[in-house]
Structure 1
Amino acid sequence: MLTLASRLRALDDAALRRAIEARMVSPTGIKDFFDLAEALLDPVAIQNALAHLDRSTLAVLAIAGEAPVSDDGASEESAGAALAGPVMAAADHADATAFAPTTAEIAARLSILGERAIPVVQVEAAATQLDSLLLAIYSDGRLKPYDAVSAHLASWPAQGLPSALMLASVAAPPSFAPPTDTDTAFTTNLAAERAFTAVSSLAELVSEISREPVHELSRGGLGLPDTKRLAAAAAVEVEAVPTLVALTARAELIAKELGYWRQTELGEAWLMGSTAHRWSTLAASWRASLPTDVLDILPAQAGVFWDGELRDFLGWLYPAGGTWLDDRVTAVQAEAEFIGITAHHTTSAAGGAVLAGAFDEAVAIMEGSLPAEVGAVYLQHDLSIVSPGPLAPSIDARLRALADVESRELASSYRITAASVNRALAGGETAETLLEFLRSISLTGIPQPLDYLIRESASRYGRVRVLPASAGDAPVQSVVRSDDPALLGTIEVDQTLTPLGLHRISSDRLGSRFPVDVVFWALSDSRYPVAAENEAGEIVHVRRIPLAQKAPVVASDPAVDLVERLRTSDGGEGKAAGAWLARQLDAAIRTKQTITVSIAMPGGVVVDYLLEPASVGGGRFRARDRRADIERTLPISSIVSISPAP
């Protein structure tokens, strides 16, 4: 442990932080570099690190640890005993690896065991990784695992895990068999069906959130009413809503702001894209979310059966992977199945392209398999609109501004009402632009009732205006005005508008303490022909729900905090040496071990005592002298070295 503690102290802050993060060290209970070294060499921590290493790297580590250790200082324990005074000198890598095998010797040994040539450069890469993970010391072309690591690896066969020989000699399972054309076509079509369903559900969820934000509970998660509303909009089970919200949030289509999930600017643009490009955004965010170790092991090849060939291969590649790897693959697989990366647990052609990072190719594959988008609809005399297939997103988005969605399937239906037309007019449309749009997409012309409704609504639109209050209108924030005294009087006494606190401020104006957007949408929901205008009297568009602004997430980094705490607690060479000596004495007291302690006497003479330590405190330690059979109290500062009794 001394060698590792000394090495940790010598690392710069960046390297130390990377090592702590890579080994996933919990900062709890770690006060100094000795605590950190002890935590890293704990059997559980070692096993956790080894579980994340592939077979070839483990084989290098195991073979390096099998090399004989000389009696004159190669092991860290003997080095620690001999160098207890100048404690930091023990971190010298050249000394620690003086008797360790070279990477060329390890490569030669692996080549013999595996019956195939192992290049030295492969071993060097593995040695560099092991060194960065603080499982071994790699210096001057020699690799020396820490003794605790080698001991743990030696215990593997008793735990049902492979020995060094098996790590080096057991061949990989057969390569993934290429799929047949029939299998590929089936998987591609099924994956496209999954992709279309996923994109449609998520688009409906984003649209619903843009209409009405969703509150995030203080304890996390969504309330049941919001969850049911989103489930109905997305046509999914209630249990699936948290997953869909997580997917859209990860793709940055929605974002949490002031405790509410809202649509983002990216989400607004995403709704206008084609189905294939919407899917590409989801697939890209899925791939970006994959941990590096998982992405590296997922083959970018169509036709791979995840529950068979892939898991067999992973079991061979990560022999100590255990549940962590299986859990990660299972979580990744569930999302992959949902968005069409896989179908029936088999990688689709588009999914293989996504895993390879070839998104243009993936989009092209999806475009050839997804249902064709249509650009025309049937306008009915009952003011309903029926689409004969999936509408182009740009047409669908504009229709949603003009009409209410009644059903969302491959063939969607909408219904136009006076309120929906007023909503479109409030969004900046006019009777002429609406009628021209409907003519451009209608297969049946424009029915007379629909033409009348739009023109009548447009003629009435703006009879009530909402505008910001002027300085002389204080303390009100907004003003409602109309040239129709009867209509203004109706608004004034409307009980549904009582919360706005509307009151007369002149013969043709009402005042409210609420801002323009609140008053505007309250009047619009009450079906008044209201328009918003600015100080110049120009009609302006009022967005009902503002887009969420993605704020940078500032989170505390436990690794950074731990490094700062270690540096603060470290008091230099003298303090570190004293801490190490105290650790050795404490260990001897706990185990009631007899040790040989070398004490520097006045005049420079060093005297060895065979002692059984009893207590440590105040810079001194009390021990039983086994040879003289007396009790001694000695200063810790005079200790030159400590070693186990012969």
Structure 2
Amino acid sequence: MTTSLADHLRTLPDESLAALLQLRPDLVVPVPADVSALAVRAQSRVSVARALDGLDQFTLQILDAARLTRDPDDGTTSTEAVLAMATAGPRPPAPATIRGAVNKLRALFLLYGPEHALRVVDGVDEVAPYPAGLGRPATELDARTAALCADPAKLRRTLLAAPPSARAILDRLAAGPPVGSVPPGALQAPPLGAEDSVPPDPTNGGAPTGSPVRWLVDSRLLVAVSAGTVELPREVGLLLRRDSGPLGPLRTSPPPVAAVAREAKAVDSAGAGQTMEVVRHTEALLELLSAEPAPVLRSGGIGVRDLRRLAKALALDEATTALLLEVAYAAGLAGELELSGATTTRYGADQQVLPSGGYEVWRAMSLARRWEQLARAWLLMTRQVGLVGQRDDRDRPIGALSPEAERAGAPAARRAVLAVLADLEPAVAPTPEEVLELLDWRAPRRSRGREAAHREALVEAARLGVTGLGALTSYGRLLLTDVAEADERGGDDPLGLRADAEDASTAVRALDGLLPAPVDHFLVQADLTVVVPGPPDPALAGELEVVAEHESAGGASVHRVTTASVRRALDAGYSADDLHDLFRRRSRTPVPQGLTYLVDDVARKHGGLRVGSAGGYVRSDDEALLAEVLADRRLEALAFRRLAPTVLVTPYQVNRMLLALRDAGYAPVPEDASGAAVLSRPRTRRAPGRAPVGRTVDPLASPKLALPRLLGVVEQIRRGEAAARAARRAPAVVRGTAARTGPAPVHGHSDALAVLQQAVRDKALVWVGYVDAHGATASRLVRPVSIGAGYLRAEDERTEMLHTFALHRITAAVLEGS
């Protein structure tokens, strides 16, 4: 008697069901109504694909061995049969390793039943149609090919007679997948009388063979399954794998890494130096956006010209600039500001990208905290920065911050790469090819096709200082652990209050020990340069931004005091005494006499002229100074007129007049209508505050629940099962339909799903009762093909059409003849 998965699950204790839900958490969302619904969901295409995506290469090969050794009559296999196939290769793995993989598959319920009668859940064949990369048996493809495969000696002779070009095709298909596409006309025979026109094949000793694919099809080694597709029969593939084994090369452990471990201190030092550069460049980028915001294109993101402008100003390449911009945006340090209706940009946009309110808070943090906010945002953001600069489906360039760079799987790709580095010995720096090989062994279904994203993750981790010299840093390892723990407790702390309450994460404390301590002083040189021997603390950095010009950065940054910088400080509200006190208090070297003279000289001239609006006017108590301004040829464009001995007036606005006077070497000060001097710092605009990107839901994972909660879920499923059993024992009401449409007894929904699952396995005809779009009840005799994603796909043999039924509309299912 065939035991279904639902019957098997009913016999398990609550702890075993809870263990299944813990290993496959997607089965809990939403909670199944009863055990039958749980079994249907566990065999669905989506759930089985999730389970297979988390398996390593060796476990997937053992599952393929179970599929290949199934009995054609009852569909069962055994652990001994799996052991026999897995050990048939030249380097057989240990039986204990194979049994461990089988037990893992049984724990996930991809295999179920006793060891002597194991069954593979139905969804596996739908998700992965070609076990071990082998094609279907010849009996399912073509009768003449099946006859050839039934004679092993003749099959070997035919295979040995294949030309080298045809044999190369066979070897490629034998490695998997077993299907291939051929150009139109490649399978057609040449017209009558044209055989002599076939060119000779140098790979076949000069004998003409025509198309090697057509030769293989004519020789029954390949089967044409459609006009442009051929398939290699399973028997031929197994014969070609006689040297490597039916499952191909088996690797029970990850591939080894040949790289030699570096010195851990050197790795952390290199990474810490890069973190300082990342924070510095990010701050410089945001200051550039504050001075000249980047307009947002109508299609989203910023334009290529603005990205190039920012990259040129930062002396970085465009890829690094795009990464810093994307990370700063994800960290909540930049945002969009809506412009007023009268304000327009050169792109006609109504938004601009500039620093947000959170930027000021971020600048006041320590260097390690600032880096952690950036690195955490990079780990969690759903943006693939490597797409910036490429072209989309409509051949348009993808810009920074544009919607086309959004990828839901980007966080999972970054964590997978860093997890590979974290599982190696500390300070081991594998090559990118070795990392890709490890990823391909760990989760081949998840990693194949994403090699470009994984390479980009390695490059971005190095640019951000998460890795150093190619190896994962100690604080990067701690950051990865902190993010994983935050994800695990995310369900218990949805507002993130617990994380905010912590003083500092372990990654911040580790990085703090590697970075030089912030300094609150500088060294003033005789040439008026100011050397800061380390990272300045926020207060010192704010003062230097006002009183000096930044010249170079690094472990010791260099600034220079100039006439313009002193004037800027005076304009911001500093007095000459304040500047003298600042340099005496902050400098660890004697203040040069030239700096004192410079401050006094600029302060003495500062405010000698007062500027107001008339169109604009200039007044001064020094009549000789006004005469000098009036006679200065550099100011002829302002068209000054003397209204009084102490007043000049111009038709131009105040801002233009201020710039012209300062360019000419004067030091005017604006005043208001009352004659008071207006001293203020330049007003900076900020975008609305944005929260940094928080916990990102991985589309390839589901939330994990604690064991007590899972036991409560199992209890709820048991109650639903008891209610369904009681409903089945109650007297059934039968609705008759027309005799020609077949019977449609009223069953429970779970019973109907169980009948349909059995019909899919047996490929049997079944009467399906359903409610159509108009609310009418109907029934149809069909042959179910698959069940998944909430739909039944079935074939009507009378009309040879494929129909799709929504599962929630199905009211009954009865096998034909029941």
- Deviation readout 1:467-495 (Å, 9 max, x if unpaired): 9xxxxxxxxxx99787648899989x978
The offset of 1:337, in angstroms, is 0.8
2:265 aligned to which of 153, 173, 185:
185
Tell whether 2:376 aligns with 1:295: no
1:574 aligned to which of 743, 755, 771:
771
The offset of 1:291, in angstroms, is 1.8
Cα distance change on mapping 1:643 and 1:465 into 2, 3 Å: farther
The offset of 1:354, in angstroms, is 2.0
Identity between Structure 1 and Structure 2 (%): 24
Equivalent position amino acid for 2:461 in 1: A
Q: Give the match for residue 285 of structure 2.
A: 205
The offset of 1:335, in angstroms, is 0.9
Alpha-carbon contact 2:332-2:691 (below 8 Å) kept: no
Q: Give the match for residue 602 of structure 1.
A: none
Tell whether 2:398 aligns with 1:276: no
Alpha-carbon contact 1:376-1:442 (below 8 Å) kept: yes
**Distance (whole Å) between structure 1 residues aligned to residue 365 and residue 76 of structure 2:** 60
Tell whether 2:583 aligns with 1:438: yes
Alpha-carbon contact 2:413-2:453 (below 8 Å) kept: no
1:286 aligned to which of 378, 397, 418:
378
**Distance (whole Å) between structure 1 residues aligned to residue 306 and residue 544 of structure 2:** 25
**Distance (whole Å) between structure 1 residues aligned to residue 301 and residue 517 of structure 2:** 37
Q: Give the match for residue 546 of structure 1.
A: 685
The offset of 1:403, in angstroms, is 1.8
SS at match of 2:686: coil
Alpha-carbon contact 2:548-2:559 (below 8 Å) kept: yes
- Deviation readout 1:194-237 (Å, 9 max, x if unpaired): 33333333333233333332344556665676445533443323
Equivalent position amino acid for 1:171 in 2: T
Map 1:229-244 → 2, pairs under 5 A: 229-238=309-318, 240-244=320-324
**Distance (whole Å) between structure 2 residues aligned to residue 270 and residue 543 of structure 1:** 20
**Distance (whole Å) between structure 2 residues aligned to residue 532 and residue 641 of structure 1:** 93
Equivalent position amino acid for 1:549 in 2: P
1:408 aligned to which of 545, 553, 557:
553
2:253 aligned to which of 142, 167, 172:
172
Cα distance change on mapping 1:279 and 1:200 into 2, 3 Å: same
| Larger CA deviation: 225-234 vs 525-534 | 525-534
**Distance (whole Å) between structure 2 residues aligned to residue 145 and residue 337 of structure 1:** 44
Alpha-carbon contact 1:215-1:260 (below 8 Å) kept: yes
- Deviation readout 1:387-440 (Å, 9 max, x if unpaired): 455544542332121122233344433233343233223434333332222112
Alpha-carbon contact 1:465-1:482 (below 8 Å) kept: yes
Alpha-carbon contact 2:610-2:668 (below 8 Å) kept: yes
Equivalent position amino acid for 1:278 in 2: R
Q: Give the match for residue 294 of structure 2.
A: 214
Equivalent position amino acid for 1:429 in 2: Y
Equivalent position amino acid for 1:245 in 2: L
**Distance (whole Å) between structure 1 residues aligned to residue 608 and residue 299 of structure 2:** 44
**Distance (whole Å) between structure 1 residues aligned to residue 266 and residue 584 of structure 2:** 40
Alpha-carbon contact 1:213-1:262 (below 8 Å) kept: yes
Q: Give the match for residue 556 of structure 1.
A: none
Question: Which segments of 5 or more consecutive residues in structure 1 lack a partner in the other structure?
Answer: 1-17, 23-36, 75-98, 132-141, 468-477, 499-503, 554-558, 560-571, 588-594, 598-610, 617-638
Alpha-carbon contact 2:274-2:464 (below 8 Å) kept: yes
Map 1:220-619 → 2, pairs under 5 A: 226-227=306-307, 229-238=309-318, 240-258=320-338, 259-289=351-381, 291-292=411-412, 294-295=414-415, 297-300=419-422, 302-307=426-431, 310-357=435-482, 360-371=505-516, 373-458=518-603, 460-461=606-607, 464=610, 484=620, 523=658, 527=662, 529-530=668-669, 541-550=680-689, 573-575=770-772, 613=799
**Distance (whole Å) between structure 2 residues aligned to residue 63 and residue 495 of structure 1:** 92
SS at match of 1:146: helix
- Deviation readout 1:573-608 (Å, 9 max, x if unpaired): 5216999989979x9xxxxxxx998xxxxxxxxxxx
The offset of 1:353, in angstroms, is 2.0
Greater share of residues in helix: 1
Cα distance change on mapping 1:552 and 1:198 into 2, 3 Å: closer
| Larger CA deviation: 375-384 vs 278-287 | 375-384
**Distance (whole Å) between structure 2 residues aligned to residue 300 and residue 497 of structure 1:** 67
Alpha-carbon contact 2:466-2:473 (below 8 Å) kept: yes
Length-normalised TM-score, structure 1? 0.57
Cα distance change on mapping 1:294 and 1:221 into 2, 3 Å: closer
Q: Give the match for residue 473 of structure 1.
A: none
SS at match of 2:772: helix
Q: Give the match for residue 205 of structure 2.
A: none
Cα distance change on mapping 1:217 and 1:526 into 2, 3 Å: farther
SS at match of 1:173: coil
The offset of 1:161, in angstroms, is 5.9
**Distance (whole Å) between structure 2 residues aligned to residue 339 and residue 230 of structure 1:** 18
SS at match of 1:357: helix
Q: Give the match for residue 275 of structure 2.
A: 195
The offset of 1:113, in angstroms, is 7.4
| Larger CA deviation: 265-274 vs 54-63 | 54-63
Alpha-carbon contact 1:113-1:165 (below 8 Å) kept: no
Alpha-carbon contact 1:60-1:126 (below 8 Å) kept: no
Cα distance change on mapping 1:232 and 1:488 into 2, 3 Å: farther
Alpha-carbon contact 1:438-1:446 (below 8 Å) kept: yes
Length-normalised TM-score, structure 2? 0.47
**Distance (whole Å) between structure 1 residues aligned to residue 561 and residue 778 of structure 2:** 80
Alpha-carbon contact 1:303-1:346 (below 8 Å) kept: yes
SS at match of 1:324: coil
Q: Give the match for residue 501 of structure 2.
A: none
Alpha-carbon contact 1:161-1:320 (below 8 Å) kept: no
The offset of 1:62, in angstroms, is 5.7
Cα distance change on mapping 1:152 and 1:143 into 2, 3 Å: closer
**Distance (whole Å) between structure 2 residues aligned to residue 497 and residue 69 of structure 1:** 98
SS at match of 1:444: coil
Map 1:135-146 → 2, pairs under 5 A: 144-146=121-123
Equivalent position amino acid for 2:287 in 1: S
- Deviation readout 1:510-549 (Å, 9 max, x if unpaired): 99999xxxx6698468635335779997957454331221
**Distance (whole Å) between structure 1 residues aligned to residue 289 and residue 370 of structure 2:** 17
Cα distance change on mapping 1:510 and 1:264 into 2, 3 Å: farther
| Larger CA deviation: 533-542 vs 294-303 | 533-542
Equivalent position amino acid for 1:270 in 2: W
Cα distance change on mapping 1:116 and 1:449 into 2, 3 Å: same
Alpha-carbon contact 1:380-1:447 (below 8 Å) kept: yes
Alpha-carbon contact 1:532-1:542 (below 8 Å) kept: no
Alpha-carbon contact 1:41-1:148 (below 8 Å) kept: no
Aligned length: 490
Equivalent position amino acid for 1:230 in 2: L
Alpha-carbon contact 1:214-1:226 (below 8 Å) kept: yes
SS at match of 1:291: helix
Cα distance change on mapping 1:543 and 1:62 into 2, 3 Å: farther
The offset of 1:338, in angstroms, is 1.0
| Larger CA deviation: 530-539 vs 323-332 | 530-539
